[in-house]
Amino acid sequence: MSAGKCEVCLEEKPKLVNCGRCGDRKYCGAVCQRKDWPTHKYSCQPKKQPSWILKITIPDSREPQIHRTIVCPDGATFEQLHYAIQIAFGWANKHSYDFVARDPTAEERPVEDIMALMKRRAAQDNGEQRDFGPRQNFIRIVNPNDHKMADSLHSYDRRHSQTPEKKADKVYIGEQFNKKEWKSAEWEYMYDHGDNWGHEIEIIGRGKIDDAFKCTEGNGHGIAEDAGSMPGWEDLKNAYRAAKPTDEQKEKMHWFENMASNFDPEGLKGRENFVDLDVINSLLTSNIE
């Protein structure tokens, strides 16, 4: 509260209260604030909050480990964060995705035997949503266009009847990262529910108020889309490392340089750590609204 003139009664008061939503309008008290709301609500915009600084890592990647540091606006949706991750890591945005807030105290899910897997598939075919083990996540934030993706069938494996689901285009970053109920949550972004490219999201701080995504640091060339999970990516790296590549390795390199969804005509030779922040930030600016 601070000294000044009330926006409604125009009386000068030693202490005024700001509108709790936008922080711009000043009132002598609740009576004047309620009186002003029918008019003020049309111009009242939520007060902008500092951006989130996120370190996003593909933990299964090795030599080098692939990671990016992204500045994310507080008011961005998780769908916009998805696009930012796709750009920063060089993915081709051809598969489904989700975000989960993992509960670090959850019991581990037992490994399914073949009979349990068959029962779960049968239940899914019948439209049932069953537990098949303890709940793992506080929330699952899903691709709003999941039904259009070729790998949508695998999304069933990530559902749980006790885990609420929300669509990524309707959920805001600050709203979720600020939740006291799951302050201990471990955030994960999963891309391609067939190859399962997991990304750990670590909140490392807050930045200035900003409406734009930025990538400030990174390491490791983006992984080839549809490489065949991490073993396939390792095979591709080994092909480029080979002094005398076999015919099979030459085919892999040709595929990556010419045919992969996110192909790179320059290949990986001597470029395994390559990250072009200028290109990434140019794409973030021009592709995310």
Burial profile 77-106: b = 16 or more Cβ within 10 angstroms, e = fewer? bbbbbbbbbbbbbbbeeebbbbbbbbbeee
pLDDT digits (tens, 9 = 90+) for 105-147: 877 766 666 676 666 666 666 656 566 677 788 899 999 887 6
Instruction: Please provide the CATH number assigned to the domain covering 52-220+280-287.
Output: 3.10.290
Contact 236, 246 (CB under 8 A): no
- Compute the C-alpha angle 159/197/171, nearest 5°: 50
Contact 189, 199 (CB under 8 A): yes
Q: What is the mean pLDDT of residues 180-192?
A: 91
* Burial label, 71 (beta-carbon count in 10 A; 0-12, 13-18, 19+): buried
Cβ-Cβ contacts under 8 Å for 225 (sequence gap 6 or more)? 91, 92, 94, 95, 192, 260, 261, 262
Inter-CA distances, 256 with 88, 92, 104, Å: 19, 13, 37
Distance CA 231, CA 126 (A): 34
Which tops the pLDDT comparison, 160 or 165?
165
Distance CA 103, CA 87 (A): 28
pLDDT digits (tens, 9 = 90+) for 198-217: 999 999 999 998 889 999 99
SS3 state at 77: strand
Structural domain spans, the chain = 2-40, 52-220+280-287, 229-272
Q: What is the mean pLDDT of residues 80-104?
A: 95
Q: Angle, to 10 degrees, between the axis of helix 78-89 and the axis of helix 277-287? A: 150
Residue 42 has pLDDT above 90, yes or no: no
Mean pLDDT, all residues of the chain: 88
pTM, two decimals, is 0.81
**pLDDT at res. 152:** 65
